[in-house]
Amino acid sequence: MDSFLSHDGGEGRDLYGTLKPGLTEHKTESSKGFSFGEVGCIRTRNKVTCCHFSSDGKLLASAGHDKKVVLWSMDTLKTETTPEEHQYFITDVRFRPNSSQLATASFDKSLRLWDAANPSYCLNAYTGHPNHVISLDFHPKKNDLFYFCDSNNEIRYWNINPFTCACVSKQGGSAQVRFQPISGHVLAAASNKVVSIFDVETDRQTHAFQVYRHQTAARSVRT
């Protein structure tokens, strides 16, 4: 991690983005005691579909139609990138909790594991999945475990060591999966117009929220 933050990524910065500072005084809105202001804007070449901060907040990973991950230092806004090993756009990127490692899911039916401290190569790859991989999330405590969902509405869980798919866990996620923070006792999954809540320990669905007010499908969940 330290090697990345000290690296001179000026060339990557020119290619992938610029910081647009000084907008706070122009765009500040207050609501119930909170103030929101734009302090900067990171611009990339192609459409961005996902982003995620590392646990310490020092790195931001963004990805999308570039088919690679752009890693931004929040101290300097300089960048490094992973190689373009995905064949189609990246659908989700998530950092492993308290680690410089991160995983990517892609429309090319693959999952890949990277290390921000040395992003020049892929640590592990799973390319044999039968469906488009849409979303993934690491367990906040058991950080060698992550769940992912695919376009066939299946949710599976994955072990980092060894890098293997443990099993098909359940049906109910085709848009996004997110763990409950801190404890990881439950998993939320979005699919069509339903958000399902699963108990991770018992591997069963405990709630299903019908999104009646939405005219379109539920595409994401936030924790």
CATH code (residue 120): 2.130.10.10
Q: Is residue 11 part of a domain?
A: no
Mean pLDDT value across residues 69-76: 93
Q: Is residue 176 part of a domain?
A: yes
Check: CB of residue 137 under 8 Å from CB of residue 177. yes
Q: Is residue 123 part of a domain?
A: yes
Q: Specify the number of domains making up the chain.
A: 1
56: containing domain: 46-210
Can you give the pTM of this predicted structure?
0.79
Q: Is residue 1 part of a domain?
A: no
Contacts of 73 (CB under 8 A, 6+ apart): 4, 5, 9, 58, 59, 79
Q: How far apart are CA 32 and CA 34, in angstroms?
A: 6
pLDDT one-digit tens code per residue, 11-44:
444 445 555 544 334 444 555 666 767 666 777 7
pLDDT (0 to 100) of residue 11: 40
Q: Is residue 4 part of a domain?
A: no
